[in-house]
Amino acid sequence: MPFLVDTNVFLRLVPKNDPDRQLILDAFRKLRARNEEFYYTTQVLAEFWTVCTRPATARGGYGLSPVETERKARMIERYCQLLTESLATHQEWRRLIMTHSVQGVLIHDTRTVSVMNVHGITHLLTFDKDDFKRFPGITALAPSDVT
């Protein structure tokens, strides 16, 4: 089954000393051994870029240059396939935010789900599993859940 990889998974791979880094790498290896495919969205890459290039003195920023961030983004693009957005994903997003009364920052997760739904992707690799419980048909797994 194909997996969309959430931004928070990619971000924990950036610092070599992140305590979740090896857990993520192990999860990717296990899924690859089962011939699973990995996907990302433009939104995921944009969020990744934002955190990577945010100053290290700012909340959660990594302080990387655009050149350093580009190298890391190319790794995502090399190992994962892009799920494109369209009028259909926009309409699905609008339907989901109204159906589930989504507000605030959870709008971003709803946009992710809209792309997944349109492309028929049911599995998400994320550290924020609870944020996706409201969406039927979406199976959110943390890297620690991958066996």
CATH value at residue 127: 3.40.50.1010
Please tell me whether residue 123 adopts helix, strand or coil conformation: strand
**Percent of the chain whose predicted confidence (pLDDT) is above 70:** 100
Q: How sure is the predictor about 105, in pLDDT bands with cuts at 50, 70 and 90?
A: confident
Q: What is the pTM of this model?
A: 0.94
Q: Are 139 and 123 in contact (CB under 8 A)?
A: yes
* The predicted structure's pLDDT at residue 67: 97
Domain of 92, in residue numbers: 3-145
Amino acid at the residue 63 = G
Once rounded to an integer, what is the mean pLDDT over residues 24-28? 97
> How many structural domains are present in the chain?
1
Nearest to 129 by CA among 117, 115, 146, 114: 146
CB neighbour class for 61 (10 Å; exposed up to 12, middle 13-18, buried from 19)? middle
Position 29 scores a pLDDT of 97
Sign of the torsion angle spanned by Cα atoms 18, 44, 103, 131: negative
**Is the sign of the CA dihedral 114, 37, 125, 53 positive or negative?**
negative
Residue found under tokens 């089962």: 34
Q: Tell me: pLDDT of 12 over 90.
A: yes
pLDDT at 109: 94
- Name the band, by pLDDT with cuts 50, 70 and 90, for residue 123: very high
